[in-house]
A and B are shown apart, each in its own frame.
Chain A
Amino acid sequence: MSIALTVNGVARSVEAPETATLLDVLRNRLGLMGTRYGCGLEQCGSCMVLVDGQPVHSCTREVGTVARRAVTTVEGLGSADKPHPVQQAFLDEQAGQCGYCLSGIVMSTKALLDRNPNPSRADIVAALDRHLCRCGAHQRILRAVERAAATLRGAA
């Protein structure tokens, strides 16, 4: 069936079963490859996107449940040439190794900073604890979130 949703600010209509996962639709129907498959079980956070500003595991979320809602992926924040301040902060801190976990973490960071522009270290840890990083870039990632918060506060 045809499902209408807004992806990165653009109204899209996709032909997909309602039970298809949002991750599958983003990657295979809309060609948005920045959202990653890690486990399919909501355990690792690699697939995190925003639905109406809230972080959501796209690997299990059925696309039918996000009809007419606003979905944001890393591509909606910025590009390699024009990164969003959150993405830029991750680059400035070199906050990653293999990087596979990062796009999900970037999205959770965006959601955190939207609701709390001045998070404590504990707030950040709590917001990111549902993400796994196997390379051990955690401390850099925490610093990147703090840097992004400072940048965005300065820009506001």
Chain B
Amino acid sequence: MNAPVLPGSLVENPRLDRWIAFLPDRTVRVATGKVEIGQGVVTAIGQIAADELDLPLDRVVVLSGNTDAGPDEMYTTSSLSIEMSGGSVRLVCAEVRAKALERAALRLNCSPDDLTIEAGQFLQNGAATGQDYWSVAGEIDLSQNVTGTAPVKPASAYKIVGQSVPRFDLPAKVSGAAYVHDVLPENVLHARTLRQPSRGATLAALDEAAIRRAAKGELQIVRETNFVAFVSPVESVAQAAAVAAEQHATWNDVRPIAPAAQEAAWLKDQPAEDRPIGAPPSTTAPKNLAQITVSRPYVAHASMAPSCALARYHDGQLAVRSHGQGMHPLRKNLAAALGLPIEAITAQHLHGAGCYGHNGADDAALDASLIAVRIPDRWIRLQWRREEEFAFEPVGPAMLVTLHVDLDGKGRPVDWTTEIWSATHTQRPGSGSGYLLATEALANPPPEVKPADPTEARGGGGTRNAVPIYDVPAHRILHHLVQRGPVRTSALRGLGALPNVYAIEMLMDELAAKAGEDPLAYRLSILSEKRARRILELVAERANWKARSTGGSGQGLGLALARYKNRAAYAAVAAAVTVQETVKVDRVWAVADAGLVINPDGARNQLEGGIIQALSWTLKEQVKLDAQGIASRDWDSYPILRFTEVPEIEAELVDGAGNPSLGVGECTVGPTAAAVGNAVAHALGVRIHDMPLTRERIMAALLKT
């Protein structure tokens, strides 16, 4: 028999005891390298383990993001946690279950086939044996490597998987301390930083006396080259010092920014690496060319909480608590930045506010650690200021997308070129494309790296979802990876999927109009993928597409479709809008196919959240720049969708039909934006290509009609 192909997480972390432990309190601890960022993954991992081990859910404890005892699964990204970590936990639990049955069978002098497990108790032909996981646990060698050969349960045997189990973490979050922000160890010192305004900027002068006067309390000022931190036993003192420091610091060599760089159009004239992907250039001249250009500006993660971390350096060991997306990568990155051996660092994930991608979480962990090694033996609680969070988090890059599509005599695409201009979508530290922020402020800052995007094999960055889901004989991408954006950019929910799907699905409506056909019928005529057809037809039914008006009345109905990364969950979205001076989204319908769904209500929550966040980006959001950098530094200058603006949403998952689980967290983002874009075009009779769809853009579009 050939060895089974193991998920990457098991290849990297083969020992069973990295994943599972039987605890004396008669629970089983299952470990995952993926972390809770509001998406419910820890609960879902627990469900998978409980079912595979035949345990009640309350006997399963999930250890998440722990560098001491848990597996290294890199970052919690790309809607991969259920596929990668869930798949690994399932194989590990199946194997440990089989080993436990073997041991019990030896004790009972029977065949493992005579044994079943109910709530962790081993039964022989249905009768109690007195044996259970914990009675044989000492005889199971968990230092062995996983083989992946133990059969996993068929989906038909699941009792807990597929149930809408309530999230483990919510009770604490509505009633008290729950986040890394809420941990106050004894004698903790509070810290804030003064950020280097840009890479290369040097601190010429800092009026420490003035800062101390403003801080009004016990204060230590930690300075290391261009890194500055204010540390106090009193949080408000550290905060006041950092606020005052902005006025009392003089910086040289600050890189100026051209405010025009805040618009996506600026990208087109910038030096770029041109990356041709897909079909070779067409050798024939286009006969019937259709084109569309769309844009999306820089958008922020804009987490509800500023980034925060705790660190303590004691006896040469650094302990870190962080809400970052990957504790093992953080540990490696901290070791490199601090010059410590990796064994000297432990990192444990604690909850933070939702991050939706690479925000300031990892950077705050380095800030806290830099202070901790200079003030040893005390816990340091470092929190960014609100304005620091907006100004220094890496933002989602602006994108400009142009489609050049040659059509046949019936108006169907025969040759398709997608041209994309964007800065990088990944500057995650340790990935070779970026650094922890404070390293740039230290002596010997790391060299600037040549920007790279996630590879096509990993779903691409700027090119994510650039390949249309429709039947297109020849498709190519020309990706202009802009070498230096005005601000730090990195991964934000969906990466390039939103602008790419916006472009594709807006063009679909235009091509349908050109052909004199209904947008739904036109799409279906060039859509072979059965799973995509099914959800597109379903969403049209839910939205009563048949009754759609001829348009131009100020009321619009639009739809859009995509399969996230062309390999994760499928989502079709319809949106009904009313457009007067602004766009009001009245209702959204979504249908998704995510294969086997572990927790249906949790998955729906993710669909809904993706829809609302995408509405917010599409209608309202743009990071504003001035000569100093990011100028939108609070919620007034960076408004997001509010309770008064959120539409009714009906989000639905079709049954998995025996298909494996597909990540669901990002699948609605692109289709939501495009459905709104199409609905607005239907309402107005004119299309708005540039996001966000603001009042100014509506008025400009209306003037054209």
| A:44-99 near B, CB below 8 Å | 44, 46, 74-75, 77-81, 83, 87, 90-91, 94, 96-99
Report the separation of the CA atoms of residues A74 and B226 in the bound assembly, to the nearest whole angstrom.
41
In the complex formed, the residue of A with least CB distance to B40 is: A97
Q: Is the CB of A138 within 8 A of B179?
A: no
Q: Is the CB of B635 within 8 A of A41?
A: yes
Q: Does A112 contact B (CB under 8 A)?
A: no
| B:605-622 near A, CB below 8 Å | 605-606, 608-613, 616
Report the separation of the CA atoms of residues A40 and B386 in the bound assembly, to the nearest whole angstrom.
8
Q: Is the CB of B305 within 8 A of A136?
A: no
State how many angstroms separate the Cβ of A84 from the closest Cβ of chain B.
8
Measured between beta carbons, the chain B residues less than 8 angstroms from A40 are: 385-386
8 Å CB contact of B354 from A39, A74, A90, A134: A134
Q: Is the CB of B304 within 8 A of A28?
A: no
Q: Does A10 contact B (CB under 8 A)?
A: no
Measured between beta carbons, the chain B residues less than 8 angstroms from A137 are: 605, 608-609
Q: Does B640 contact A (CB under 8 A)?
A: yes
Report the separation of the CA atoms of residues A21 and B235 in the bound assembly, to the nearest whole angstrom.
11
Q: Does A151 contact B (CB under 8 A)?
A: no
Report the separation of the CA atoms of residues A32 and B177 in the bound assembly, to the nearest whole angstrom.
8
Q: Is the CB of A97 within 8 A of B609?
A: yes
Q: Does A135 contact B (CB under 8 A)?
A: yes
Q: Does B319 contact A (CB under 8 A)?
A: no
Measured between beta carbons, the chain B residues less than 8 angstroms from A132 are: 304, 635, 640, 642
Measured between beta carbons, the chain A residues less than 8 angstroms from B641 are: 136, 138
Q: Is the CB of A134 within 8 A of B174?
A: no
State how many angstroms separate the Cβ of A69 from the closest Cβ of chain B.
21
In the complex formed, the residue of B with least CB distance to A28 is: B235
Q: Is the CB of A39 within 8 A of B174?
A: no
Q: Does B353 contact A (CB under 8 A)?
A: yes
Q: Is the CB of B635 within 8 A of A106?
A: no
- Residue-wise, chain B 26-64 has the 8 Å CB interface mask toward A (1 for contact) of 000000000001111000000000000000000000000
Report the separation of the CA atoms of residues A77 and B175 in the bound assembly, to the nearest whole angstrom.
8
Q: Does B486 contact A (CB under 8 A)?
A: no
Q: Is the CB of B634 within 8 A of A41?
A: yes
Q: Is the CB of B634 within 8 A of A43?
A: yes
- Residue-wise, chain B 167-182 has the 8 Å CB interface mask toward A (1 for contact) of 1011111111111011
Measured between beta carbons, the chain B residues less than 8 angstroms from A32 are: 176
Report the separation of the CA atoms of residues A132 and B386 in the bound assembly, to the nearest whole angstrom.
14
Q: Does A33 contact B (CB under 8 A)?
A: yes
Q: Is the CB of B174 within 8 A of A75?
A: no
| Residue of B37, B178, B643, B649 contacting most chain A CB atoms (<10 Å) | B643
Measured between beta carbons, the chain B residues less than 8 angstroms from A147 are: none
State how many angstroms separate the Cβ of B191 from the closest Cβ of chain A.
14
State how many angstroms separate the Cβ of A113 from the closest Cβ of chain B.
15
Enumerate 26 A-B pairs (CB-CB under 8 Å) in ascending A order: A24-B235, A33-B182, A34-B176, A38-B305, A41-B635, A44-B304, A46-B304, A74-B175, A75-B176, A79-B176, A87-B175, A91-B171, A94-B170, A96-B38, A97-B40, A99-B173, A102-B174, A132-B642, A134-B356, A134-B613, A134-B640, A135-B354, A135-B612, A136-B610, A136-B616, A139-B608
Beyond A98-B38, A136-B611, A139-B608, 14 additional contacts (C-beta under 8 Å) are A33-B182, A34-B175, A37-B181, A39-B635, A80-B172, A83-B174, A97-B39, A98-B351, A99-B174, A100-B354, A125-B643, A134-B302, A136-B613, A137-B608
A-B residue pairs, 10 tightest by C-beta: A136-B612, A98-B38, A99-B173, A98-B354, A97-B38, A33-B182, A136-B609, A33-B177, A80-B171, A100-B353
